[in-house]
Structure 1
């Protein structure tokens, strides 16, 4: 594994380590931050930006190493359709979760001492862990777009990224 591979894996993993830390040690998080939900939101947002930047840097470096140049004009219409559909569905789920749960619900308010009502409406009435399913669909969208023009390791790295959401969902469901 190269340095750029390690950096990308670390950046992609970081938000999930934050989620696990807060999930398993909410009292410590509350002691560290007087506004724990706001601190979680800010920390998660920063880590998400770093995650995306690290992935794009990895993709750029690997593409240059392999002499690849993404030509969006050569992407078949079906791949464009898959891209837009996956990202659209992913974001519909994410937005619906945020609208239903609000900041307190999305950022583990129930673990951080806030009352969060249990929700059964859309999208929770059609799928378990809709926010994480939405994230995975959103990750799959760009993968569909670059399919056939991406450097080696792209599917593996994005699969790892998706697997982290599965692990986080299992952690929240059973632990």
Structure 2
């Protein structure tokens, strides 16, 4: 009986790890092949809006995956470090979205949109503030989520920071008009 439980835990761990990293191949593909995404979305569909919708679905997959391995860890109240890490991380995420909007946040520049350069805080102070905010929010949850999943998710963000730092403007898409 104990062996069956361990096998189930292994399967849940593989499911959770797969769910946690699921968005990153999608983001990589969009970043490196933006024209194919624009064409797939077709005329009259905003590729940033479609990306946002798919990204929200993938975020739900990530959270459900984490919940599948975290239900034994849930307790209240969280440790004191939770609040400053989580709140500042979410502040960074909301601030980036506030400044860039949906098109700026969801690769609009890669999809051929003209996105204004932003210098207000947190830009110019924190490099990659949205990813930093996301990683801070994840670290805040260490008391509830096994470390390996937080690490895996964070490594996905670090990977995308690297990929996005190597942007070649010549590979940007042309919007279908």
TM over 0.5: yes
Trace 1:21-170 onto structure 2 (pairs within 5 A).
Answer: 21-34=29-42, 35=45, 36-60=47-71, 63=72, 70-72=74-76, 79=79, 81-143=80-142, 145-146=143-144, 154-170=146-162
Structure 2: distance between partners of 1:142 and 1:71: 11
RMSD of equivalent CA atoms: 1.7
TM norm structure 2: 0.82
1:20 aligns with 2:28: yes
Structure 2: distance between partners of 1:140 and 1:134: 10
5+ residue gaps, structure 2, are 1-8, 168-177
Greater displacement, 123-132 / 30-39: 30-39
Moved over 2 A (4+): 69-73
Which residue number in structure 2 is paired with residue 4 of structure 1?
12
TM norm structure 1: 0.83
**Across the two proteins, how many residue pairs are aligned to each other?**
156
5+ residue gaps, structure 1, are 64-68
